[in-house]
Amino acid sequence: MTSVPADLALLTTEEMGRADRLTIDGGIPGTTLMENAGRAVADAILARYPAQATLVLCGPGNNGGDGWVVARRLKQAGFDVACSALAPVAALRGDAAVMAARWNGPVLPFEPAALDGRTLIVDALFGAGLARDLDSAVLRMIEAVGEGRRVVAVDLPSGVNGDDGTIRGGAFTADLSVTFFRAKPGHLLYPGRARTGQLVVADIGISPSVLESIDPKAARNGPALFARHFPVLRQDGHKYDRGHTVTLSGGALHTGAARLAARAALRIGSGLVSTIGDAEAARVIAAHQTAVMVAEVDGPAGLALFLSDRRRNAAVIGPAAGVGDTTFAHCRMALAAGCACVFDADALTSAAGRADILWRERTADLVLTPHDGEFARLFPQLSGLPSRAARAVAAAKESGAVVVLKGADCCIAAPDGRIAINDNAPPTLATAGSGDVLAGMIGGLLAQHMPAFEAAAAAVWLHGAAAEGFGRGLIAEDLVERLPIALQIAENHLRGRGQAG
């Protein structure tokens, strides 16, 4: 068993190197892998684009080695192909030298003039071995390629760091990237994701069994990641089996966020849901809610009393709660009650500078759902880490909580080092109240006894699936009402039927 599902695993460049070595040690020659890799790229091109004048840019390592294969295969298919080599062909070593020797077409100097008349550019300069910022010759070439030409990247667009999606000085912007065996975190993390274009993951003959010893910790988020832990609706089940989620409201003028969270918790299957607030707030809430219960709860002591009923087993604290000592005290009370907690929005800001108290007092599952600004306030010491993924993992390790670092490439990190990177969120999700819905969904899944990492991953994916296809005009209320569709889409994925029609 691997820490993350083998199908969804994302490999760092070092892990991909191990996968290659294990395969070669197992008896498949490196040149066979390279031939398979180059053929996969050529096939992806042939499946999409008509024959046209093509330039293959070949780098000094094995990424360049793949490039010579692509050039040969495209030429065989009738393309007019030239190569342009960054390093002298005579200086190439190993498998790349073997493949370069098999190329019998033109090799042009590595200068922008090589692009003249060429409409398809294959970027085989650097892949997993990118080790430093691109130099001026490569940057000049990227600039000269411009926007008018089609770019196909071998493995990764050169300049994109496969481990974290950061850009080393500059990078190609590909229409299509063809990678091998498994994708890398850098394909899914911005800014790398924006440079990747359509991503094809090709089988080059590496057996998934190599993942057993590599045991990758990163995965693309998807139903297979959380399905095993998703709450099952038993025929003989009872609503009390499916937990009781509590969402804490702000004052009378700030009840909407907790109400959205509550309705989302109910839609995701929490057996019972209560929204609680002070006397004035409770009256406003009562005027809006039907299936969600309402209770008047005053201050941290009132919250402690309310949560002392252990059937109330999940709490969502933070949406429109107000920033300050009272919200911080509410967080501490919820932790002391021993229920699973989601701390969002104002709860996170209220904890800035004193969050270590919460980490010490954590007694049960805790999920934190910061966006970048809240994260920076909560974990200022982690701001120097190079990527959102690295920051999320470090924060999870430090806090002992599952950290959902929200954004277009939402990162869900567990204290044991696992990380899921989400890629199904449309830009329409950036709308008021969307985060409140997400927090409620996580709370609703925690109430149903789902482990925190899987609960957070499921909520993030379903949140994206609920928004997908709606288009402009989406508001947070729509997300809640579309959750049944999202749940159906997840089920269809698991049955191998893809998206619901």
Kindly tell me which residue out of 154, 178, 268, 337 binds ligand NAX, with binding defined by CB under 6 A: 154
- According to CB under 5 A, which one of 15, 20, 66, 123 is a site residue for K ion? 123
Give how far Cα 465 sits from Cα of 45, 72, 317, 330, 419, Å: 30, 41, 24, 32, 20
Interface pick for ligand NAX out of 33, 340, 367, 480 (rule CB under 6 A): 33
180 binds ligand NAX (CB under 6 A): yes
For ligand NAX, which residue of 107, 134, 142, 335 counts as binding (CB under 6 A)? 134
Phi, psi of 67, rounded to the nearest 5 degrees: -60, -40
Distance in angstroms (rounded) separating the CA atoms of residues 354 and 368: 15
If binding is defined by CB under 6 A, does position 423 make contact with ligand NAX? no
Tell me if 192 sits within 8 A of 168, measured CB to CB: no
Stretch that binds K ion, among 123-131, 179-187, 346-354, 425-433 (CB under 5 A): 123-131
Q: Is 226 in the site for ligand NAX (CB under 6 A)?
A: no
Terminal alpha carbon distance of the chain: 33
The residue among 393, 4, 386 whose CA lies nearest residue 160 is 386
135 binds ligand NAX (CB under 6 A): yes
Closest CB to ligand NAX among residues 134, 455: 134
Strands 244-248 and 314-317: parallel
Interface residue with ligand NAX, options 44, 55, 61, 410 (CB under 6 A): 61
Helix (H) or strand (E) holding 142: helix 136-145
Q: Which of 158, 274, 327, 434 binds K ion (CB under 5 A)?
A: 158
Q: Is 123 in the site for ligand NAX (CB under 6 A)?
A: no
Backbone angles phi, psi at 131, to 5 degrees: -125, -10
Q: How far apart, in whole angstroms, are the C-alpha atoms of residue 388 and residue 422? A: 12
Judged by CB under 5 A, does residue 66 bind K ion?
Answer: no
The residue among 449, 501, 492, 500 whose CA lies nearest residue 223 is 492
Residue 311, CB half-sphere, CA atoms under 13 Å: how many? 8
Give the one entry of ligand NAX, K ion, none that residue 123 binds, where binding means its C-beta sits below a cut-off of 5 to 8 angstroms depending on kind: K ion
479 is a contact residue toward K ion (CB under 5 A): no
Q: Is 192 annotated as a binding residue?
A: no
Side-by-side strand order, sheet with 366-369: 9-10, 218-220, 419-421, 411-413, 402-405, 366-369, 340-344, 314-317, 244-248, 272-277, 293-296
Residue 244 pairs in a beta bridge with: 272
The reply on whether position 128 binds ligand NAX by CB under 6 A is yes
For 34, how many CA atoms within 13 A lie in the half-sphere containing its CB?
24
Examine residue 68 and tell whether it contacts ligand NAX (CB under 6 A): no
**Do the Cβ atoms of 83 and 55 come closer than 8 Å?**
yes
The answer to whether 62 is annotated as binding is: yes
Residues numbered 389 to 408 that lie near ligand NAX (CB under 6 A) are none
- 9, 10, 37, 437: residue in contact with ligand NAX (rule CB under 6 A): 37
Which one of 130-138, 183-191, 232-240, 398-406 is the stretch in contact with ligand NAX (CB under 6 A)?
130-138
Q: Name 60's Cβ contacts closer than 8 Å, sequence gap at least 6.
A: 86, 87, 91, 92, 96
Looking at the Cβ atoms of 34 and 462, the one nearer to ligand NAX is 34
CB closer to ligand NAX out of 33 and 339: 33
Phi, psi of 138 (to 5 degrees): -75, -40
Q: Which of 69, 130, 154, 262 binds K ion (CB under 5 A)?
A: 154
Answer yes or no: is 64 a known binding residue: yes
Nearer to K ion, 179 or 247 (CB): 179
Find out whether 123 is annotated in a ligand binding site: yes
Q: Which is nearer to ligand NAX, 65 or 440 (CB)?
A: 65
Considering the complex, state which of residue 41 and residue 297 has its C-beta at the smaller distance from ligand NAX.
Answer: 41
Residue 164 annotated as part of some ligand binding site: no
CA distance readout (Å), 94 to 107, 163, 393, 402? 19, 25, 37, 44
> Rule CB under 6 A: is residue 20 a binding residue for ligand NAX?
yes
Q: Which one, of 284, 295, 188, 216, lies nearest residue 248 by Cα?
A: 295
Binding site for K ion (CB under 5 A): 123, 127, 153-154, 158
Binding-site residues from annotation for AMP? 435
Binding site for ligand NAX (CB under 6 A): 20, 30, 33-34, 37, 59-66, 126-135, 154-155, 180, 204
Binding-site residues from annotation? 62-66, 123, 127-133, 155, 158, 257, 371, 435-436
